[in-house]
Amino acid sequence: MSMRKSKKSSVDNNSSIHHKEAEDTDININFTNELKGIMYGFGDVENPDHESVELLQEYVIEYIQNISYAAYRRNKRKGSNELSLRDLLYVLKKDKKRYYRIKNLIHFYENAKSIKKRSDPTQFQ
């Protein structure tokens, strides 16, 4: 697993989210295997260069931090300290493609969960 420290950063996807101050905390995050699979699925070689995967991982982590921080700031203005799905969706609303993709994934997850619950053989014992 790689060790990363959060840092000041910004994302520019038709909106800019800037961290004014970010705490330096150690975070253990490793998306290497998932990112290799995604890269392969989008036409890269089966085992992409390690540096390419690391760079993509940095971008992904930074994006997640920025979105989370924006949702946290929004929630803080409302007087709460807990992030909710609603806050994350509000932040992502400007990016219609991602917003609707997330909405579809949530719907799919909820349907899969209810189907699994209905077909659970332990409920009949």
> Could you read off the pLDDT of 27-47 as tens digits, one per residue?
677 889 999 999 999 999 999
The per-type count for the chain, helices as H runs and strands as E runs, is 4, 4
Taking 70 as the threshold, does the pLDDT of residue 18 lie above it?
no
Write phi, then psi, for 8 (nearest 5 degrees).
Answer: -70, 135
> Could you read off the pLDDT of 85-106 as tens digits, one per residue?
888 999 999 899 999 999 999 9
